[in-house]
Amino acid sequence: MVRGIEVHYYAVCPRKLWLFHKGIGFEQEHDRVLEGALLHEEAYQRLDKELSIDELAVVDAVDDEFVREVKLTSKMEKADQLQMLYYLYLLKQRGIEKKGLLSYPTEKKTEQIILDASAEKRLLTALGEINDIIAGKVPSYRKLPYCSKCAYRDFCEAGEEA
């Protein structure tokens, strides 16, 4: 099964998805992750605890209506949306129907995400592509705007082929 973070990585960079899936885990040490952890702590002090979905995903918080995720910036909004759709899909498969709320507190922005039929179709297409990427060879390095912030940058720029 695909993990929630892998759906996010897929939308950012297929190579990142592949490297992460193979356990080449530089991402844990990255400063942005630590920054994010602090932000989560501040934003969710008064909400329920995180919800883990069969070890595939850890959702920031859940209430009666919404699955909530807080993000540092909306620069990877499309990836955030796809990851949230996946959370909603996993819950739906377990008989729980929720909407999603993506919050970007530093930008004072909140976005509602709904798993309707077209969103579910888009998600299932993405999941198919994710499985193809994971099953294949490492995708080639292709410089992206995101690379400068990626924990795999040194690895990719050194021409490593995993």
Interface with ligand SF4 (CB under 6 A): 13, 15-16, 19, 141, 144, 146-147, 150, 152-153, 156
Q: Which is nearer to ligand SF4, 8 or 16 (CB)?
A: 16
Say how many CA atoms lie within 13 Å of 77 toward its Cβ.
11
Do the beta carbons of residue 156 and residue 162 sit within 8 Å?
no
Q: Which is nearer to ligand SF4, 116 or 160 (CB)?
A: 160
State the DSSP H helix or E strand holding residue 70, giving kind and residue range, or none if neither.
strand 66-70
Spatial separation of the C-alpha atoms in residues 5 and 80, rounded to whole Å? 10
Within 8 A by CB and 6+ apart from 82, the residues are: 7, 8, 10, 11, 122, 123, 126
Record the tokens describing residue 44, joined without a space. Answer: 């969710």
Q: Which is nearer to ligand SF4, 99 or 149 (CB)?
A: 149
Shortest distance in whole angstroms from residue 142 CB to ligand SF4: 6
Q: Which is nearer to ligand SF4, 11 or 59 (CB)?
A: 11
Shortest distance in whole angstroms from residue 154 CB to ligand SF4: 8
Q: Which is nearer to ligand SF4, 44 or 146 (CB)?
A: 146
Shortest distance in whole angstroms from residue 55 CB to ligand SF4: 24
Spatial separation of the C-alpha atoms in residues 9 and 90, rounded to whole Å? 18
Shortest distance in whole angstroms from residue 76 CB to ligand SF4: 11
Shortest distance in whole angstroms from residue 101 CB to ligand SF4: 27
Query: Any idea what DSSP says for residue 75?
Result: T
